[in-house]
Amino acid sequence: MNGRELVAQGWSQGADARDLDQRPVHPWSSEARSWSVLGAIVCGDSTRQGRVPIDLLAEASVMLAGAVDTASVSKWNDQPGRTQAEAVAAFDAALASAAERPESQVQDSSA
């Protein structure tokens, strides 16, 4: 599952990921059932073990920040009133922007 799919499955605020009981867990935890935008980027590769290369992690974060016009993806995610639909839409916008940039190295698994 990529980051967008994780957030579409379950989205969290105030923690990178949460389990079924809404307790904070590591994004790569097998108990994670919902993810923040940043948590989903961190474990949005095929292993779901938080092994996204740092350069792709940074590029995905920058692309998402640009898509929602913010300096902090984490603060944007945790803003009161933010919705899961907005979080998924942020991934869609970032992926569309990456597709328009032929020089982009952002992979679907990290954004």
Give me the pLDDT at residue 88, please. Answer: 97
Give me the pLDDT at residue 12, please. Answer: 97
Full-model pTM:
0.82
Which pair of structure tokens corresponds to residue 40?
Answer: 């989903």
Averages of pLDDT over each 10 residues, the chain, 111 residues: 90 97 95 95 68 77 90 95 97 85 51 50
Give me the pLDDT at residue 110, please. Answer: 45
Please answer whether residues 109 and 46 qualify as being in contact, where contact means their C-beta atoms are separated by less than 8 angstroms. Answer: yes
Give me the pLDDT at residue 1, please. Answer: 67
Please answer whether residues 64 and 37 qualify as being in contact, where contact means their C-beta atoms are separated by less than 8 angstroms. Answer: yes
Give me the pLDDT at residue 77, please. Answer: 97
